[in-house]
Amino acid sequence: MVYVCSDLHGFPLKSFRKLLRKAGVTQEDTICILGDVIDRNGDGGVEMLRWIVKQKNVKMIMGNHERMLLDCKGVFDRSRGLRLQEILDLDNYLYNGGAATIENLEMLKNKNPAEFDRIVEYLENLPYYAEVKAGGKSFVLVHGGFDGFSSHRKLSSYDEYDLLWSRPDINTKYYATKTVVLGHTPTYFYGKDCKGRILKTDTWINIDTGAAYGEAPALLRLDDLKEIYFNKENYNERI
Ligand SMILES: [Mn+2]
């Protein structure tokens, strides 16, 4: 079976694995994480990244936060100064909650440079979208959405910004024959009733339950669209 989740934003690995156990996820299943594993909380998602790169059944898609980190990765290179554009990118990244991620990656680089290099290489090779089939249905997975959408456009014709920073309106319609699954915009953006919950529309499903801002991530099983939430009674264990 195929499970998706998104926007972990520094959610603790231990708690995330608890959610996987609750869902009954096994090594035979695939887990797709739709970007924004890093930044904003805890260790900035570095422990989670270290785990993800070692899991054969976990796939990740590029989020705008991973893109921001990669755009200023020169900060880890002590052999040269930063170019002006890198300084501006770093400023923007720190504004978006990147400090803990930089600090923890820096520590990892000092302790285990090979593992650091492997993580950066993994992130650099992340796809910007993926198409999957589950339960006899087709899905397109993407971090933000599709700015400038037309059902006739090839997926490869969208640029980074269209895919990573898009925020679909509640009335946005995508494909008739496949469902888009996305994150990036916490669902409470669409109304208080959606807070902490997965939001399903006719043509897209938003699975960003708002872990960036104190909620917990959730899993969606694509085969039957079952939603699995982090137990509220375990909520205090997330810190
Ligand atoms: Mn995002």
Q: Which pTM was predicted?
A: 0.95
Distance 79 CA to ligand 1 centre (A): 31
Distance of alpha carbon 235 from alpha carbon 86, whole angstroms: 38
Distance 9 CA to ligand 1 centre (A): 9
C-alpha to C-alpha distances, 157 to 134, 168, 204, nearest whole angstrom: 25, 18, 20
Distance 105 CA to ligand 1 centre (A): 20
Distance of alpha carbon 104 from alpha carbon 91, whole angstroms: 18
Alpha helices in the chain (DSSP H): 13-23, 46-52, 64-71, 84-95, 99-111, 113-124, 160-164
Distance 100 CA to ligand 1 centre (A): 17
Over residues 75-116, the pLDDT tens digits come to 999 899 999 999 999 999 999 999 999 999 999 999 999 999
C-alpha to C-alpha distances, 189 to 74, 135, 185, nearest whole angstrom: 34, 29, 7
Give the model's pLDDT for residue 239: 43
- Extents of the domains making up the chain: 2-234
Chunk the chain into consecutive blocks of 10 residues (it has 239) and report each block's average pLDDT, rounded to whole numbers.
Answer: 98 96 97 98 98 98 98 94 95 97 98 98 98 98 98 97 98 98 98 95 98 96 97 58
* Residue 180, beta-bridge partner list: 140, 204
Alpha helices in 112-211 (DSSP H): 113-124, 160-164
Pick the CATH number of 2-234 from 3.60.21.10, 3.90.76.10, 3.40.640.10, 3.40.50.2300: 3.60.21.10
Residues 6+ apart with CB under 8 A from 13: 47, 48, 51
Average pLDDT in the chain: 96
Distance of alpha carbon 68 from alpha carbon 45, whole angstroms: 14
